[in-house]
Structure 1
Amino acid sequence: MRSRGTVYLAGAGPGDPKLVTLRTWELLAEADVILYDRLVNPELLNRAKPSARLVDCGKRSGKHTRSQEEINRMLVEEAEKGNQVLRLKGGDPGIFGRVGEEAAWCAEHGVPFEIIPGVTSGVAAPIYAGIPPTHRGISASVAFVTGHQGTEGSPEPDWKSLAAGVDTLVIYMGVGNLPSIRDVLLEGGLSPETPVALVRWGTMYGRQKALTGTLGDIVKQVQETGFRSPAVIIVGEVVRLREKLVWFTGEESGTVKETVPL
């Protein structure tokens, strides 16, 4: 009888496969079962051994391949069969990645687990777009916020407090709710001239796109350019640094304006 396996809850990084951690790179070659999310770069799965079972757990807005409950059960069931299970999540598993829920399920069922951090898109995408989330003299604080407002049992972010108390906001999964996010930030006291940037497919060569504007015009720009998720939204004065600090040569040009006067 095979001994119980271990569940590894790992971050796959923001997109560029070279930004994955060494520990996750090792586990990709060792795992018997890999449950991966939609934003995981498919190139990473080529690292899996031929006998590994690959399970798509992709979650799209309103279209979940597998429910969270089903994913939890699979992690435990596969480990109880003696398999080494890799739960591969885009970015960092602890930043809106539900790692706490999955780890708790393993703990409740006596399944050993390990959590491996990853590079989160909320830091990597702005950096690759020439926007450091903090900068001396401009931003001394940054908050990572979900743009899924009050969904799935989670409380809605306190946007007014964030607008008043944080220098830089990095918003995940917020493109679809951008009009309402803009409204509450303006109600919270931010100026319509506050710089805003959206970065789509951050760190991905040939796919990354950036769009910059202000709270007053960013919704119109998104509508006019057809800018879509997956993207992170950056709100704050650090966005102005993009004009000087753009370094990544892999941004896609064309339908999305690369920079606009702020």
Structure 2
Amino acid sequence: MATQTQTIQQTDPKRWKALALLCFANFLVMMDSAIVQIALPSIKETLGYSQESLQWVMSAFLLFFGGFLLLGGRLADLFGNRRIFNLGVIILIISSLFAGLAWSETSLNVARGAQGLASAFIAPAALSLIMLLFSANPKEMGKALAFWGLSGAAGGALGIVLGGVITEVFGWRWTLLIYVPLSFIVLILSPKLLQKSVRRAAGRVDYLGAVLVTVSLMLIVYGIVMAEQSGWQSFNTLSSLAVGIVLFLIFLLVQAKKKDPLVPLNILRRLT
């Protein structure tokens, strides 16, 4: 694997262009979590949200993004990083189209959840591609990761500003529809700039582990979301957090016994 990584690094003159594309995708992911904030009053008026339910325009995205992030990284390792990256971009295009054309609370919430799922595939797959492209040169790796971090910070910061401008000029729907053409650009350039999919792990999908970790993380994120609405001492908050933590502990026990775990626990030993 080290030889393969080094070969890719030495023979890929497009790695900096590829990094620019991956950073742009990361920018879109982080922007997606913030761009609708200014548009919330307009969304409420158009689709008839209550003040209490309006938070789910944001929370649906965060719930699926946080819940599927670990699974997205594992799928990239098993099935190929570029393949999962492109799958995430395709899901983002479709979900953004439906979100921009949403006709009800439910349709927008579902579309926002699908956007979160797309981002959970894009982010770890893109980071995996960066690690592969620059792993043979520590100095270039440091620069690449710095650009990656800056792109995410810029997406989160500029998302609010751009959301306000777009909402004022074009209407709130374009804060979501804008991802359709931008994501198409990423999808078109991907096969030209990114290396073919590389599987970084062998084995099968740990379906039990995938279900446990996804449900546990979604419950934990849901508990945090509910804490903002109902308080940290509410039954919904405490029960969601408690069940989520218990399921996550069960997930760790399952991983310790699996031949092909979703998360090899020896990684944690290396970090400590």
TM-score by length of 2: 0.24
Q: TM-score scaled to structure 1, two decimals?
A: 0.25
Indicate the structure whose relative CO is greater, using CA pairs within 8 Å and at least 6 residues apart.
2
